[in-house]
Amino acid sequence: MGRRARGELEAQVLGVLWEQSEPVSAGVIQEQLPGPAAAYTTVLTVLDRLEKKGEVLRSGDSPRKVRFRAARSGDEHTSSTMIDALDGARDRQAALLQFAGNLSDGDVAVLQQALTGKKR
């Protein structure tokens, strides 16, 4: 049985939550995780950590009825991660230029439209 990379289980748990339309139990999350089976208690630990990071919201009035949902969408999470990385760059302009240099023509067009306020 292979081990997950550091942070991979958190990302997978968030991925499961982003696919849900309603809050779900830890058991549902556990069942839907890809890769090696994660112990139920491990899933609960990951959910607790994600809740402390503000990534997951917990609801329910008893331990058996606790449900979880993502605090924000996958797109919002990705955007925030990109901003955090940019904020941590030693040279913000160089980081932006490097990023822009790796974008596809379609990505550039989307950004140009967004920056000029034009919508499709």
Specify whether 100 is located in the same domain as 50.
no
Please say if the pLDDT value at position 120 is more than 70.
no
Specify whether 12 is located in the same domain as 65.
yes
Specify whether 48 is located in the same domain as 64.
yes
Range of the domain at 34: 8-70
Q: What is the pTM of this model?
A: 0.78
Q: Is residue 86 domain-resident?
A: yes
Beta-ladder partners of 69:
57
14-58 pLDDT tens trace: 999 999 999 999 999 999 999 888 999 999 999 999 999 999 999
Q: Which helix (H) or strand (E) holds 70?
A: strand 67-70
